[in-house]
Amino acid sequence: MQFASHVGNVSQVSGKPRSKHRSGCPVSISLEVLGDRWSLLIIRDLMVRGYRAFREFQGSGEGISTNILAERLRKLAASGIITAEAEATDRRRVNYRLTEKGIDLAPLLLELLIWGARHEKTAAPCALIAKMERNRGEVLAEVRRRWLERDPTPLLPIFGSDGGSRDLVRTPSEK
């Protein structure tokens, strides 16, 4: 595992200088990079829904505006979390892909998914979340396999796509 070194208040990863951070705290720095909902939702869509194109992100059902989407894609690329690649069959079309740095966010997203389903009302099927919770290692291995093989097959359904929302907040006896 590679860790960033810090020189003064400017961090470096692999010799690449980065901008100043508010503090040297890893949580604070992570939130500076990922601290808005749109960035994490784009990463989710790349990681588990198999989305690659601007139009797919825009149609994700989250209601992101085109200017915010374009800005977040630029920010994620500048942070080294995603790359933009011209499509082989149509060079005018850009496909986005997670980098190694981006796919390393899989455990974080899995835990956010489990935490949200455990503590909030969501549209995620209880049985699916419970299975993912019990089999974290296998889920993460499958996410990484799909990334390595460039397999765009969705890992998860779009929750609430049936129009209904189910109460998934567990009672203490279910935990």
63 lies in a domain?
yes
58 lies in a domain?
yes
165 lies in a domain?
yes
Per-chain mean pLDDT for the chain: 83
Which residues form the domain of 53?
22-174
- Per DSSP bridges, beta strands 94-98 and 82-86 are antiparallel
- Cα–Cα distance measured from residue 7 to residue 15, given in angstroms and rounded to the nearest whole number: 11
5 lies in a domain?
no
Tell me if 57 sits within 8 A of 38, measured CB to CB: no
Q: Of how many residues is the chain composed? A: 175
What CATH number does residue 124 fall under? 1.10.10.10
Tokens found for residue 152: 């765009």
Tell me if 121 sits within 8 A of 167, measured CB to CB: yes
Tell me if 130 sits within 8 A of 175, measured CB to CB: no
Tokens found for residue 32: 């500076």
Which tops the pLDDT comparison, 165 or 30? Answer: 30
Which tops the pLDDT comparison, 69 or 88? Answer: 69
2 lies in a domain?
no
Nearest by Cα to 115 from 61, 36, 175: 175
4 lies in a domain?
no
17 lies in a domain?
no
Give the other-Cβ count within 10 Å of 51's Cβ: 21
* Number of independent structural domains in the chain: 1
Q: What is the pLDDT of residues 66-85, one digit of tens each?
A: 999 999 999 999 999 999 99
User: What per-residue confidence (pLDDT) applies to 7?
Assistant: 39
Tokens found for residue 26: 């890893």
Q: What is the pLDDT of residues 143-155, one digit of tens each?
A: 999 999 999 999 9
Tokens 């400017």 correspond to what residue? 10
